[in-house]
Amino acid sequence: MVPTAPRYLLLLLLLLQGSSSAALPANGRTTGTRKAAGDTGEGLPSAVTCTGCVLLVSVIEQLAQVHNSTVQKAMERLCSYLPEHLYLKMICQGAAEFFGPDLIKLFTSKANADVVCHALNLCRKQPGLPYCHLYPPPKEGLEMSIKKAQRIVKSSVLLRKLTAFPSICSLPFLDKICQKIKHTIDYKVPLKDFDQDNFSDLSYFRGYDWRGKDCNDLNDTVYPGRSPRNWDIQHDSNCNGIWGIDPEDGIPYEKKFCEGTDSKGVILLADSAGAHFHIPPEWLTAETMSLKTFSNLPLTIFNEFDWPQFSGYTGFLNSTIGGWTESIYLHLRDRNRCNHRDYQSISKNGGSSKNIMGFIESLARKKKLDKPAIVIYSMVGNDVCNEYTDTLAHMTSPKDLHDDVMKVLKYLNSRLPDGSHVILQGLADGRFLWDHLHNRYHPLGQLNKDITYEQLYTFLSCIQFNPCNGWMSLNETLRNLTSQRAFQLSSVLEEIATLKFSSFDMLYVNFSIAAIADEWHKLGGKPWQLIEPTDGFHPSQNALALGAKLVWQEVLQKWPHVLGKPNPFNKDIVRVFGDQGGH
């Protein structure tokens, strides 16, 4: 059964929620979710839908401007750009049919996106607080413009239907798939995993974009990272592409090429920066929008708006979103081809020391059967970043960080094979964001030169959806206090790194955006290019690649034993088994 237009709209808003909420730190110590501003629990309107509405209406308005067309034609054009996959085009067409009449009325009255979304009740004013807005207020004033627009759509059928929509996952035809997807997202395990070994031969939904590709998903004794079974004479038990016997001397290839080479994998425990959260700026750029613009939208949704396949830790594919891919995994694989496919990204949008124990159990490493691993703990922002107005009060304290990280290390000590290593990475200095972005135009504001990052940060703070009120703030004192707490927490990690555990040794490395910027400057780049343009918060592809290079160089210089010696048989492995690619 095909959903009706209102249900199309609901599905579209679900997708918007995925894109918007992914950037928001979920760093509470409970599993409950705090209500966003404007969310009364009686319908769809919330900070998520407000943000999504303002972005969508802005794009439609700009498409009409760029192509000198009507709003109706602009909506049709936007829908035509969306792929058929996941019914995205049909969802868009249904939403356009549902919203269209009211949008046309409001645009005819010269209402901007802020006014439209407030009039449609998709953005709501909090009692006693001013109206939140992304754009400069209209000349007649924002409040008066909104009231005028509300009179225009007063009799709208849409407004009556919005509050009657059920939860997306309460719909009978989506109930089971919602449960399975929710389990995948909550527990960071592959959606398709027949043998339940936490590895998959599907790339997305926490598959091999996130962890090494399973070369036999029907056998739970075959997976990346295990010690070879009987030197892989008959089959490839660890999925590194090396198996069989050399007919010239009768020696198993795994034994001949990998024994004594200190092969190991890399496992990442991280937040959205480690997972490489990225919303393509082309999605908001009406001037260049085309049929190709949204071709990667389905995969982006399936991967929670993360791009781990290009990340600076476990990335393995050449980047298709700008810049280049350089990662710890690729460096480790180039050093020793026996490490092929041995990577895991156990990372979460909103991940922090406060919630990591909720998803660390998806780490796939057996203490007695598997190879040692290099585990990188990299929570670079969410222990100081949150959406609360009293942001300082909700930051992680040094004591809490110490206690939470010690829980992680004790868990790792019980799971990791002996001879493993743990790298603790410090927090970023997020003042870099404001310093290099606040007066620049956001992708949505480049056409008419009307939206800067300062306006974006202020809007997100107003609707209580700013992912980092401490750093993405007009208040310089607050930005400095946030960095001060970040330095304190980094010092705690550096002190913890001196402790001893039976299964692994520990190292501490900085996350130095200043050092990354220096490297980027040498290449002729500008500092603002190191920040994701759409959200103005996460490190960009270039920043992650350079960050991986700096971490690798630091570890290679100070702790070379962690990385193992270069494998002298690398060329022989490629000669016999081919390059095989990064995955």
Alpha helices per DSSP H over 260-306: 272-275, 297-302
Which distant-in-sequence residues (6+ apart) come within 8 Å of 552 by Cβ?
A: 328, 331
How far is residue 534 from each of residues 104, 277, 441, measured CA to CA in Å? 27, 10, 11
Q: Which of 21, 24, 1 has the alpha carbon at shortest distance from 13?
A: 21
The single residue of 272, 347, 352, 420 carrying the catalytic annotation is 272
d(CA 69, CA 78): 12
Alpha helices per DSSP H over 83-174: 88-108, 113-119, 142-152, 157-162
Element (H, E) at 374: strand 373-378
Question: How many C-beta neighbours within 10 Å does residue 359 have?
Answer: 18
Bridge partner list, 509: 425
Neighbour-count burial for 483-522, b at 16+ CB within 10 Å, e otherwise: bebbebbbebbeebbeeeeebbebbbbbbbbeebbebbee
Query: Catalytic: 272?
Result: yes
Q: Which of 425, 464, 431 has the alpha carbon at shortest distance from 347?
A: 425
Beta strands 373-378; 343-347: pairing state:
unpaired
How far is residue 474 from each of residues 2, 132, 227, 383, 384, measured CA to CA in Å? 47, 16, 53, 20, 17
d(CA 199, CA 516): 33
d(CA 412, CA 499): 14
d(CA 472, CA 532): 13
Q: Which residue has the tokens 């009307």?
A: 450
SS3 label, residue 458: helix
d(CA 542, CA 518): 12
Active site residues: 272
